[in-house]
Amino acid sequence: MDFALSEEQRLFADSLHGLLADRVTIDALRSHAEIGSGFDADLWNSLVELGLPGLLVPERFGGAGLGVLDAAVAAEVLGGAAAFAPFAGSVVMATLAFIHGATEEVQDAWLPRIATGDVRFGVGFSGNGGRVSPAIDAGAPTHMLVYLLDGTALVVAAEHASMRSHRSIDRTRPVTDVTFDTARALVLDAANAPLATMQRVLDAGRIVLAADTLGAAQHMFDQALAFVKQRVQFNRVIGSFQAVKHQFADMVTMLEPCRAMVWYAAYAQDALPDEARLTALQTKAHLGDVGRDIARMATEAHGGMGFTDLLGLHYWFKRISFNRQMLGGPELCREEAARLQGWIA
Amino acid sequence: VDLSLSDKHRELRDEVRAFIVEHGHKSPKLGGGRKRPDRKALDWQKLLVDHGYVARTIPREYGGYGAEPDVMEAAVIASEFAAAGIYAGLTNQGISMLVPTLLEVGTEAQKRLWIEKTIRGDIIWCQGYSEPGAGSDLASLTTRGVLEDGHFTINGQKIWTSSAHYADMMFLLCRTEPDRPKHEGISYLLLSMRTPGIEVRPLRTMTGRAEFNEVFFTDVRVPEDQIVLGRGKGWYVANVTLKHERSMIGSAEKMTTRLEQLIALLKSNGLLGMAEYRDRLLKLQGEVIAWKAHNLRLLTESAQGVDSGVKRMIVKYGGTMLGFRLASLAVDALGTAGLPFESAGEDAEDDDATTWNIDYLYDVGLMIGGGSNNIQKNIIAERGLDLPREPKVARA
C-alpha cells in the first residue's frame, strides 16, 4: 500500500507549475480577464507541448494514457495558478466520454485530435431539447459535447451551435449558453450503459474541479501565511497574535485533509469502482465548502489589501466560487449522495 | 497511489482473519479502560502478545514478538480487528507511553523488570504529570522530589490521573533540581502506588463517572535507582515518547465505526427524510472520508520515514472536533428520547458501557486532555506553520 504521489506525478506537477509561473503572471491574468474566454492560444500551445491535453488519451491514440488521479494532480496546479485554459471539460470529461462511450472507430477519429490540442470541447448537460446552460470550458471551443438526461452524448461543431458566453464572477472563465440542432450532432455510442457512462464523466469532472479548488485555496493560504509573517502592526508581525495564529491553525486543519481526499476520490475512479461515485460527490461538496472558508479567511488575513483589485487575490476567490457552483454545488452533490445510498427516493 | 496490499501484507491479513475466526469468541467486548482489566481481558491480551498482534515490534528479550517495525503491518492488524468488531488489546498509558520510553532511554534492568509485565497487562501504570497549577504549562510543575539517603522524598499533588485508583505503578514527573531553569529541574521516576504516603481521591467528571483522580504525596520515598535517565532529564524523557506517537491508526477506524452507527441511528429514527438531519449527516460523512484518506497519507509517510510535520499536528484537533460533531448529531437525533437519566449513562451499572450521551460528554474531555485544543492550535501555528511565538510578558 502506498498512498503518495509517484515520482512521475511530482515531476509532472513541477514542470506544469514552472510553465504556469512564467506564463500566468498577475498581469497576464488581468489582461485575460478583459477577454474572459478562458482560452489563450499561446498558453494553450505551451500546454500542448507539455502534453497536457493528451493526459488521459490512451497511448495508442497519441496520449499519455494516464488516469483521473493524474488529472487531479494537474488540476491542483492549474487552480493554484488560476490558469485560463480549458481542462476539466475539454481535457478530462471529453476524453473520458470518448474512452468509455464511443466505438473504436469514433475514438480513432477524435482522441488523437484531443491529444494534439486541435480540438477543444465545451461540455454541458441539457435539460430538454438542444438548450444547454451553462456549459463548462465553452468560451472558445472547437466543439461541444452535450449530455442529454438519458445519458445520450452528442458532439457538435461549435460553428453549428449558437453559443452565447457571459462574463462570470470568475472573469477568466465565462459561462456559456449553447443552443443547437440535434440533427447536426454526432451521437456517441455508450453501448448499453449511457447513464453510467455519463455519471462517470460527470464525476471525473467534479473531482477535477475539486482539485482545482484545492490548488486555488492552497495558493490563497500560502499568500496569506506569507503576508502575516511580514506585516507589522503594534510593533509585532501580525502572525504573532494568537487570534491570527488560531485562524491559520483552523485553515490548515480544514485544508490539508482535502488533498488526501482528492487523491482518494480520483484514485477510486479508476481503481475502486464501489467507492467511485460516493467519493466523487462528497469530494466535490467538501472542497466547495472548505474552499469558500479558506478563500474568505485568507482574504480577511490580508486586511484591506485583500479586498483590493491591486493585490489580485480575488481572482482565486472567484475561481473557487465558480468551481463551487459548476457541475453541482455542495448541497446538490450531497443530495445525490443521499439518493445513491438509498437514504431518499 | 496504490491501495492494494503487498503479498507480505496480504498474508498477514489472511493470518489475522484466520486467528479471529478461531479465537474471536474469546475476545472481551469493545470499550473499557475505566476498570482494571478482568481475567478475560488479560487472557486475551496474552494471546495477542504471543501472536504478535500487540507489542509486535518489542524485542523478544523483553517479552514482545520481535518483529521489524512496519506501520503497514500495524495498520493491517488494526483494520482487521476493527472490521470484525474484536478487541484489539489493552490501550493504556503503560503500554503506549512508558514502554516506548523505557525502550529508548531505560536501563537494561528497567527494561527487563517492567516491559514484559506491562505489555501482558499484569502491571497497570498511571501517569503522574499534570498538577492543579501546571496543566498546559506542564513544565511549571511543583511536586518536589528531594534526594536523601538513596531515596527521593516526594511531596505534592497530581491531578487528572487516569486509572490511579487501580494502577500498580506510576511514572512521575517531579522537581528535583529547584535551582535549575524550569525545564531542566524535572526528573522522571517510577514508583509503586502502594508506597506509604500516597492518597488517591477519585475525581468525578461531567460524564457522571470517576474517570480520573487526584493523587496526593506526603513524604513518599522512592529508591534512587528508580529514576529514568537521570536527574534533571525528566522533561527530555517525557518528550521521547512523542516521537513514537503513531498518527491515528486506531481512531480512523473508530471514526468509521461511529459514522456507521450514526447512519443506522438516523435510519431507524426515520430522520434521513428530513433535509436538516440528512445534510448534517452527509457533511460528516464527507469529513470522515477526508480524514480517513489523510490517515492513509500519514501512514505512508510514516512507513517511508518521512516527518509529516503539520499534517500530523492537525490530527488531534481535527479528530476530536469531528468526534464531538458525530456524537452531537446522534444526541440530536435521539431528541427527547436521549434525555432520561438512564440513557445518559450516568448510573449505568456497567462502568464500561458507552452510549451516545457518554460519548458526547466524554468527547469534550478529549478536546482538553493531552493538550487542549487551544494549545494544539498554538502548536500547529508555531511549529507547523512557523508563525512567531507570543512575546514573553515580563513577570509581575
CB contacts, 8 Å: B304 with chain A: 4
Query: Which residue on chain B is closest to A267 by alpha carbon?
Result: B1
pLDDT for res B330: 95
Q: What whole-number distance in Å separates Cα of residue A249 and Cα of residue B288?
A: 19
pLDDT tens digits along A33-82: 998 899 999 999 999 999 999 999 999 999 999 999 999 999 999 999 99
Q: Which residues pair with B174 in a beta bridge?
A: B187
Distance CA B161, CA B320 (A): 20
Highest mean pLDDT among A78-92, B252-266, B311-325: A78-92
A130 has a pLDDT exceeding 80: no
User: Is the model's pLDDT at A139 over the cut of 50?
Assistant: yes
- Asked if A332 is an interface residue toward chain B (Cβ–Cβ < 8 A), one would say no
Mean pLDDT of A87-101: 97
> In whole angstroms, what is the distance from residue A148 CA to residue A143 CA?
16
- Rounded distance, CA A26 to CA B253, Å? 45
Rounded CA separation B387/B382 (Å): 5
Among B272, B293, B389, whose Cβ lies nearest the Cβ of A257? Answer: B293
Query: Which cell numbers in the block locate residue B31?
Result: 470499550
Does an H or E element contain A132, and which? strand A131-135
Q: How far apart are CA B194 and CA B123, in angstroms?
A: 13
**Binary contact (A260, B300; C-beta < 8 A):** no
Instruction: Give strand pairing partners of A165.
Output: A176
Contact A209, A79 (CB under 8 A): no
Min distance B224 CA to chain A CA atoms (Å): 42
Q: What angle do CA A206, A208, A210 make, to 5 degrees?
A: 70
Is omega for the bond preceding A134 within 30 degrees of 0, making it cis?
yes
Verify whether the Cβ–Cβ distance B381 to A248 is below 8 Å.
Answer: yes
Residue A337 has pLDDT above 80, yes or no: yes
Residue B246 has pLDDT above 50, yes or no: no
**Grid cell of A184 as nine digits:** 447536426
Higher pLDDT, B344 or A204: A204
- pLDDT of B353 reads 63
pLDDT score recorded for residue B75: 86
Name the residue type at position A110: W
Average pLDDT over residues B317-326: 94
Judged by a CB distance cut-off of 8 A, whether residue A227 touches chain B is no
A·B CB contacts under 8 A: 150
Q: What is the amino acid identity at position A79?
A: G
In single-letter form, the type of residue at position A5 comes to L
**Looking at residue A183, what is its pLDDT?**
83
- A 67-96 residues with CB < 8 A to B: 69
Q: Report strand pairing: B169-175 vs B125-128.
A: parallel
Average pLDDT over residues B303-330: 92
Phi, psi of A14 (to 5 degrees): -65, -45
Q: Which chain B residues have a beta carbon less than 8 Å from that of A260?
A: 290, 293-297
pLDDT at B348: 58
User: What whole-number distance in Å separates Cα of residue A175 and Cα of residue A178?
Assistant: 10
- Quick one: residue B168, left, alpha or beta (phi over 0 = left, psi -120 to 50 = alpha)? alpha
CA A315 to chain B, closest CA, distance in angstroms equals 25
pLDDT at A194 over 70: yes
The set of catalytic residues of B is: 245
Which pLDDT belongs to residue B242? 65
A-chain residues near B3 (CB < 8 A): 1, 3, 267, 271-272
Closest CA to A67 of A202, A320, A268, A220: A268
Does the CB of A246 have a partner CB in chain B at under 8 Å?
yes
Local structure of B204: helix, strand or coil: strand
Look at residue A192 in the predicted model and tell me its pLDDT: 80
Q: Look up residue B160 and give its three cell numbers.
A: 487528572
- What kind and span of H or E run contains A133? strand A131-135
> Cell 491501495 sits at which residue?
B3
pLDDT band with cut points at 50, 70 and 90 for residue B202:
very high
Q: What is the mean pLDDT of residues A282-299?
A: 98
Q: What pLDDT, on the 0 to 100 scale, is given for residue B205?
A: 85
Q: Smallest CA–CA separation between B28 and chain A, in Å?
A: 31
Per the CB < 8 Å rule, is A252 touching B385?
yes
Tell me, letter by letter, the H, E, C secondary structure of B54-87: CCCCCCHHHCCCCCCCCHHHHHHHHHHHHHHCCC
A239 CB near a chain B CB, below 8 Å?
Answer: yes
pLDDT band at A327 (very low <50, low <70, confident <90, very high): very high
Pairwise CA distance, residues A45 & A53, whole Å: 10
Question: What is the tens place of the pLDDT at every residue in B24-62?
Answer: 999 998 766 678 899 999 999 999 999 999 999 999 999
CA angle A300, A219, A255 (to 5 degrees): 80
CB A175 within 8 A of CB A168: yes
pLDDT band at A18 (very low <50, low <70, confident <90, very high): very high
Report CA-CA distances (Å) from A127 to A96, A158, A174, B295: 21, 19, 20, 40
Q: Which three cell numbers stand for residue A4?
A: 503518495
Which pLDDT does position B249 carry in this prediction? Answer: 44
Q: Is the pTM of this model over 0.90?
A: yes
- Range scoring the smallest mean pLDDT among A121-135, A161-175, A306-320: A121-135
Query: Per the CB < 8 Å rule, is A245 touching B381?
Result: yes
8 Å CB contact of A260 and B382: no
Phi, psi at B372, each rounded to 5°: -65, 165
Query: Under DSSP, is residue B128 helix (H, G, I), strand (E, B) or coil?
Result: strand
Residues B59/B66, Cβ–Cβ less than 8 Å: yes
The stretch A208-225 carries a mean pLDDT of 98
A33: CB partners within 8 A, 6+ apart: A171, A172, A315
Cα-flanking dihedrals φ and ψ of residue A175, to 5°?
-105, 145
Residues of chain B neighbouring A242 (CB-CB closer than 8 A): 378, 390
3-state secondary structure of B178: coil
Tell whether A339 lies on the interface with B, counting CB pairs under 8 A.
no
How far is the C-alpha of A325 from the C-alpha of A330, rounded, in Å? 8
Distance CA B148, CA B150 (A): 6
By Cβ distance, the residue of B2, B317, B374 closest to A2 is B2
Nearest CA to B220 out of B192, B188, B185, B201 is that of B192
Residues 6+ apart with CB under 8 A from A56: A63, A64, A65, A66, A67, A68, A70, A71, A91, A92, A95, A96, A99
Q: What is the mean pLDDT of residues B162-168?
A: 94
Half-sphere exposure of B32 (CA within 13 A, CB side): 18
Angle CA B387–A80–A279, to nearest 5: 100
Give the sign of the dihedral formed by CA A294, CA A298, CA A300, CA A301: positive
The strand pair at A161-166 and A175-180 is best described as antiparallel
Cα A290 to Cα A283: distance, rounded to the nearest angstrom = 10
Q: What residues of chain A lie within 8 A of the CB of B294, using their CB?
A: 256-257, 260-261
Q: What is the distance between the alpha carbons of residues B390 and B385, in angstroms, rounded to a whole number?
A: 14
Main-chain phi, psi angles of B285, to 5 degrees: -60, -45
Integer-rounded Cα Rg, in Å, for chain B is 22
Average per-residue pLDDT for chain A: 95
The per-residue DSSP string of B247-287 comes to -SHHHHHHHHHHHHHHHHHHHHTTGGGSHHHHHHHHHHHHH
Angle at CA of residue B81, ends B19 and A253, nearest 5°: 155
The per-residue pLDDT for range B334-392, each reduced to its tens digit, is: 998 888 766 666 555 565 567 888 889 888 988 998 889 999 999 999 999 999 998 87
Looking at residue B346, what is its pLDDT? 58
Q: What cell was used for B279?
A: 445534510
Give the integer Cα–Cα distance in Å for B173 and B188: 5
Q: Please give the pLDDT value at position B248.
A: 43
pLDDT value of residue B247: 40
Per-residue pLDDT at A128 exceeds 70: no
Structural Rg of chain A based on CA atoms: 20
A308: DSSP letter: S
